Amino acid sequence: MSNPSSDALASSVTRSIGQVLASLKGDFPDISISKIRFLESEGLIAPQRAPSGYRRYSAHDLERLRYVLSVQRDHYLPLKVIKEQLAVIDSGQPAPAVASLLRDGSPGEQGQTEARATPAPAPAPAPSTPRPPVRMTRADLLEASGLSDAALTELERTQIVQPRRGTVHYGRDALTIAIAARRMAEYGIDGRHLRAFKMSADREVGLVEQAIAPHVRRAGGNRDVQGEVTQLVISFHAALVRTAMER
């Protein structure tokens, strides 16, 4: 039987980011300080700050990191879905099954399908809280994504990964693409396939821009039409791919 005072002491011990990195390296060889800081910027962990200003990580932060890294590695869930999953756990409810997350989307949508007697109109996309921008150098991107220099060079050559417009720094989408490219390469999806994906995405963007142009003009600056439609297209495209893969 555990000693309550020992448990309390263990829970109050905090670690430096270097100690957290060392604790995770065995199970997650690709983890880096940049990746830990990126997950913090996404709101998945919230370490304390010591009076000196350095981050201090609790046992809860460490377990939360292990959970995030595990579902990323094993299921490649988007960070948005992982964050929603963590919110469910924080509320005291059991974590939703990964399979249902992949099928139905966010945890908040589960359990509602059977209760719907008739189809309801799709709700308008909820406004999202702006996330802090990600600003990474090329070296940061290599470290956080785990890509080799040669692999990143090839993605840059084909303009699949690019710095943010007018800068030499990379943003959140570049990191997402880089991580996905590395993971897909493990399954034989190489540069040739990725170029085909990009050509398909470019065609989709052209179609969408042409279709929404009148709505953008009418809305002026009152609505982010492009942002709303982008989210709808992403959701629609993801559902199409899932449906086709299940056949």
Model confidence pLDDT, tens digit, residues 77-122 = 677 778 888 888 877 776 655 544 444 444 444 444 333 333 444 4
Residues 6+ apart with CB under 8 A from 83: 42, 43, 44
pLDDT given for residue 97 in this prediction:
54
List C-alpha distances in Å: 114 to 45, 88, 91, 110, 119. Answer: 34, 20, 23, 9, 11
Vertex 152: Cα angle to 146 and 154 (nearest 5): 145
pLDDT given for residue 112 in this prediction:
40
Alpha-carbon span 92 to 176, nearest angstrom = 30
Grade residue 231 by pLDDT with cuts at 50, 70 and 90: confident
Alpha-carbon span 209 to 79, nearest angstrom = 27
How is the chain split into domains, by residue range?
Answer: 13-106, 133-185, 190-247
As a CATH number, domain 13-106 is 1.10.1660.10
Grade residue 22 by pLDDT with cuts at 50, 70 and 90: very high
Model confidence pLDDT, tens digit, residues 34-66 = 889 888 888 889 899 888 888 899 998 999 999
Reference 20, options 43, 47, 49; nearest CA is 47
- Arithmetic mean of pLDDT over the chain: 79
